[in-house]
Copies of this chain bind each other. A is one copy, B any other.
C-alpha cells in the first residue's frame, strides 16, 4: 500500500479521544548490536544486568524493526523520523538543516542551511585537503567570526556558526531564497571547489545559488592567508522541509526529553515541545514525572549507547544500558499506559558505526500481551510476536495499545 493511502486509513480510524494514560518512547540510541566471537557471542543488551528491563520484558510484546529497507543503514535523522511515524523515504531532511538545528540555530522557513568544512586550496584553486588538516576548534571559531563579519549578501542575512574541528554551519536567511542545492564539495581532492549552480528553474532556488556564490566571492579572499584553512566546502544545502506536525498528524501532544542538540532539533522540526536539557537519564525521567499531566506522548532520548557503539566500547555500552535500567523505577513511579523501548537503529560495537541490523523493540501496555520471553535482548526479540517490521509502524502499535484506533470495517 502506498504511504499516503496508509496514512488516510490510519487517520480515518483514529478515535477522537485523548489517551487515558501516557505513551512513552524511550530511545536508547543505536542500542541494537550483534553477537560475535570477540564478544563471546553476547551483545551489550545480553551482557548487561537489567533486572528492571527484564521484568518489563516478561510482560511485553517484542520484535525487531527495520528503519527503512533491508540492508540500509540510516542516519540519526531518518532513524528518528521513522520512530515518530514518518516514512524516512518520504520525509527527507537535508543535512545542513539537521546540523543547524543541532547547533541550536533557530531555523525559519525562509532559511537555507548548509553544512560546511574548512578545506585547503592550492594556488591553482584545487582542493588538496577536504578537512584543512582538521584544524582545532579554537582556530575554527576565529575563522567563523571573520566570515561572520560579512553579515549580508544583498537582501539575505548570513549566519556563521562554528562547530568542532574543521566543521561549521552557514545559514542564509531571507531575501526570497530556498534549497536544495548541490554541494560545492567535489567529494575528493584534486578537483576545484564546485560552483554552486541551481539545476532548477525555481526562482527562489536560483536566487539562493546566487547568494551563496556571492558569499564565496567575499569569503575566499578573507581566508587567503589562513592556510591550511584557506577555503571551505558546502554540503547538504537545504531548507526546512515541510513536515506535518506530530500533534496534527497523530492528535497527540508531545514532549521531547533529549539532551543532545540534534535530537532536540529533530523534535522541534515536527513541533514537539522540548524540555530543558537534563544532566542524566535519572533527571530525564524526573522531567517526565514533572510534566506528566501536560502531554500525551513523551520522547525520551539516551545518546550514550550510540556513542559507546561508535567508539567500539562494549563495556561502555553495557554501562549506559545498566544506568538506564537502574533509573527505570523513576519512570515507573507514574507508569506509562504504553511504553516502547528501542533504538533508532543498531550501532554495533564491532562496526563502530550505525548499521542496517534491525533494532530490538519492546512494547509494554496492559494489552500488549506477553511473549513469554525473559529479557529485552536481540535474541529474545527475534522470537517476539511483533516480528520484523518497519519502524514507521511503531507509533501505530503504540496508539493501538492506547486504544486510540477504531475497528476497520464491520
A interface residues with partner B (beta carbon < 8 Å)? 1-3, 5-6, 9-10, 13, 33-37, 41, 43, 59, 61, 63-64, 68-78, 87-89, 92-93, 95, 98-99, 115, 236, 348, 350-351, 353-358, 366-372, 378-379, 382-389, 393, 396-397, 399-400, 405-410
Contacts and interface: CB of A to CB of B under 8 A. Distances in A.
A407 B367 contact: no
A369 B74 contact: no
Contact of A410 (B5, B236, B370, B384): B236
Which 3 residue pairs spanning A and B have beta carbons closest together?
A34-B369, A387-B388, A71-B400
A408 B34 contact: no
Contacts of A93: 409-410
Nearest to A93: B409
A73 B396 contact: no
Contact of A369 (B1, B6, B95, B348): B348
Most chain B CB within a 10 A radius of its CB, from A78, A356, A369, A400 = A369
Given A69-B9, A69-B393, A370 B78 contact: no
Given A9-B72, A389-B70, A397-B71, A410 B64 contact: no
Interface secondary structure of A, over-half rule:
loop
25 contacts: A9-B69, A9-B89, A35-B369, A35-B370, A36-B59, A36-B366, A37-B59, A61-B357, A63-B388, A64-B387, A68-B408, A69-B396, A70-B389, A71-B400, A71-B405, A98-B410, A99-B410, A355-B400, A356-B397, A356-B405, A358-B387, A379-B385, A382-B383, A382-B384, A387-B387
A393 B366 CA distance: 30
Given A77-B409, A396-B71, A379 B371 contact: yes
Contacts of A400: 70-73, 355-356
Tell me the number of copies of this protein: 2
B89 A5 contact: yes
A220 to B, nearest CB: 26
B348 A72 contact: no
B99 A1 contact: no
A93 to B, nearest CB: 7
Nearest to A73: B407
Contacts of A36: 59, 366, 369-370
Contacts of A236: 410
A355 B367 contact: yes
B396 A367 contact: no
A74 B358 contact: no
A89 to B, nearest CB: 6
Contact of A72 (B2, B372, B378, B408): B408
Given A378-B385, A387-B387, A408-B78, A34 B70 contact: no
Given A64-B387, A378-B385, A407 B74 contact: yes
Contacts of A367: 34, 348, 350-351, 355
A267 to B, nearest CB: 16
Nearest to A70: B393
Nearest to A115: B410
Nearest to A35: B370
A295 to B, nearest CB: 21
Nearest to A76: B410
A409 B408 CA distance: 35
B71 A399 contact: yes
Given A93-B410, A351-B367, 20 more contacts: A1-B3, A9-B72, A10-B72, A34-B369, A36-B366, A36-B369, A63-B388, A71-B399, A72-B405, A73-B407, A74-B407, A74-B409, A95-B410, A98-B410, A350-B367, A354-B407, A356-B405, A358-B385, A383-B383, A386-B388
